[in-house]
Amino acid sequence: MAPPLLTLQSISLTFGGTPVLDGADLIVGEGERVCLVGRNGSGKSTLLKIAAGIVEADRGDRFLHPGATVRYLPQEPSFEGYTSTLAYVEAGLGPGDDPYRARLLLESLGLTGDEEPDRLSGGEGRRAALARVLAPEPDILFLDEPTNHLDLPAIEWLEGELSGLRSAIVLISHDRRFLERLSRATVWLDRGRTRRHDRGFAFFEAWRDEVYAEEERDRHKLDRKIAMEEDWVRYGVSARRKRNQRRLGLLGEMRDARRTARRAVGEVKLAASESDVSGKLVIEAKDVYKSYGETPIVSGFSTRILRGDRVGIVGPNGAGKTTLVNLITGALAPDSGIIRLGTNLDVVTLDQHRESLDPTAPLTEVLTEGRNDQVIVNGEPRHVVSYMKDFLFSPEQARTPVSVLSGGERGRLMLARALARPSNLLVLDEPTNDLDLETLDLLQEMLGDYGGTVLLISHDRDFIDRVVTSVIAYEGPGVWRDYAGGYSDMVAQRGRGVTMKGVAAAERGAEDKPAAVQAKAEARRKLSFKEKHALETLPKTMAALEKDIATLQTKLSEPNLFARDRAAFEKAATALKAAEGKLAEAEEEWLRLELLKEELEG
């Protein structure tokens, strides 16, 4: 068995008060796929930084295999000092790395390489940062929330790219489906310590619940034992003095163990304040159009949304999801068409950018909205500190300004404020951003119990599947279509997931075009950078494969190899078959590209 590439042992780190890490371990082997999970604030990002060599622990050992290469994707990448996205990505390459991969990955992620870093949106910045860490194909890849700010097409592209890498991967993410598809082992960071389970994230929650149940049983046994010892102290202490002193000492130790035990962090308590019941018809849209200049956002869209419906809106970044929601909720006037809203509607909106939060305002002011120290929940007044505790804020944070909160804390604060307002129509724009998995579970349950109607914009496929009853999907510029069921049902009905902006229209139009028209359109275009690169590199790839095939054939022709070492023979035969398959694929792709090149240039 090969030695691990990276080992962290007994890692401890304290930022004042309770230790963030207290004896945490992490082992990463060659090609492993490990997801690192835990509550917000449990220290996952800190442990990842220690593993990447960016932060030094107070105590513990870190061993990195000599020569092993490491790349780390932070939640907030810095582009300072770079004039373009290409320069930023190329700076992450090491000696001997393929320089073509920098531009290839940028192109695959929808960037040109010429973008100015200080003008990038959140999604563009995340794509450039991903290209930088993926381009070198390191031995170990540390990814901290890689799907943040990415739309569905980019998330699904990233899944495929990571699946094909040889690199070992340690991954932090709140996207369940992303974790389930990529992870093969789970490291759970809980109360400063780590536990490892050699199965992927799909099995994590059942394992976690077993651990908590066992802890509760052990705690109950300890409480009973302490009660018995305390009873003996009261009524049996007059026996032998030496033995009594020993038992008193043991009782003290048990009390200390119970007092110092770090229990699991409490759960967020989510409940929406509901107003009076709305009419049966909530929203009706008929032949609605909206454009900005020459750009169509909504073209001829019609839908009916009834009380109790849960509608998901999905599409790539920039497609106009928020504009569509603003149109059908009456917040934005259409260019033409009819929007009819039902009676007695109370709309509450949770915006994705947390823009409505004043960064200088303290938590209590955000929650009370100027009503002294009271929050009105379902018509009943509650003290703001009590309400804060439901969302895992401590009393000491009451005067904390919004600006110092983490992303997860801001997400919980926005939920706390939105859910306190009476509503019968909830509009949730990316509500899952920065929330941990346990809070997502509770939000899902709350939406299931909510008596009103829900409009949900999200890139979280699992969350959409769990919450919605129908989906409105982007089909191309201005075109939106209704599908029954969740995201997976939509994929089954349309035969594909959400595609990148512009691609959907091309795919939709291609279905109706004659083959000759499509071929003519293909002939007008130019070879992409990816195709040019493949044409240049495929001959070298084929030559290397031919060399491998010749070596394997020579090995298999050795006299008595099968009788002498059957395992070696079978291994060589399997490798030969795989190499021949790869060579056939490479030759076919090279021939296709050569013919395409001749057609485009001819």
Beta strands in 75-184 (DSSP E): 140-144, 168-172
359 is in an annotated binding site: no
45 is in an annotated binding site: yes
42 labelled as ligand-binding?
A: yes
Closest CA to 479 of 501, 497, 456: 501
What is the rounded CA–CA span in Å between residue 151 and residue 123? 8
What residues form DSSP beta bridges with 190? 193
Alpha-carbon span 546 to 544, nearest angstrom: 5
Q: Is 315 annotated as a binding residue?
A: yes
Q: Which of 176, 496, 487 has its CA nearest to residue 311?
A: 487
371 CB-near residues (< 8 Å, 6+ apart): none
Q: Is 316 annotated as a binding residue?
A: yes
Query: 499, 598, 583, 514: which is closest to 548 by C-alpha?
Result: 583
Known binding residue 318? Answer is: yes
C-beta separation of 359 from 403 below 8 A: yes
Q: What is the DSSP string of 287-304?
A: EEEEEETTEEEEEEEEEE
**DSSP letters spanning 150-176:** --HHHHHHHHHHHHT--SEEEEE-S-H
Would you say 77 is a known binding-site residue?
A: no
CB contact set of 242 (below 8 Å; sequence gap of 6+): none
Rounded distance, CA 33 to CA 182, Å? 7
Token pair, residue 599, equals 């057609």
Residue type, 291: S
Phi, psi of 209 (to 5 degrees): -65, -35
d(CA 552, CA 25): 41
Give the whole-angstrom CA distance, residue 219 versus residue 405: 33
424 is in an annotated binding site: no
Tell me the one-letter amino acid at 350: L
Q: Determine whether the annotation assigns residue 221 to a binding site.
A: no
Instruction: Name the nearest CA neighbour of 452 among 537, 344, 559, 352.
Output: 344
Which two tokens mark 323?
A: 């504009």
- Tell me the HSE value of 399 on the side-chain side, using a 13 A CA sphere: 1
What lies within 8 Å, CB to CB, of 468 at 6+ separation is: 310, 311, 312, 454, 456, 485, 486, 487
Q: With contact defined as beta carbons under 8 Å apart, do 81 and 111 qualify?
A: no
CA atoms in the 13 A half-sphere facing the CB of 513: 14
41 is in an annotated binding site: yes
Q: How far apart are CA 265 and CA 137, in angstroms?
A: 37
What is the C-alpha separation between 397 and 418, in angstroms, rounded?
Answer: 19
Q: What SS3 class is residue 513?
A: coil
Tell me how far apart the alpha carbons of residues 424 and 157 are, in angstroms, rounded to a whole number.
37
Residues tagged in the binding site annotation: 38-45, 315-322
Annotated binding site for ATP: 38-45, 315-322
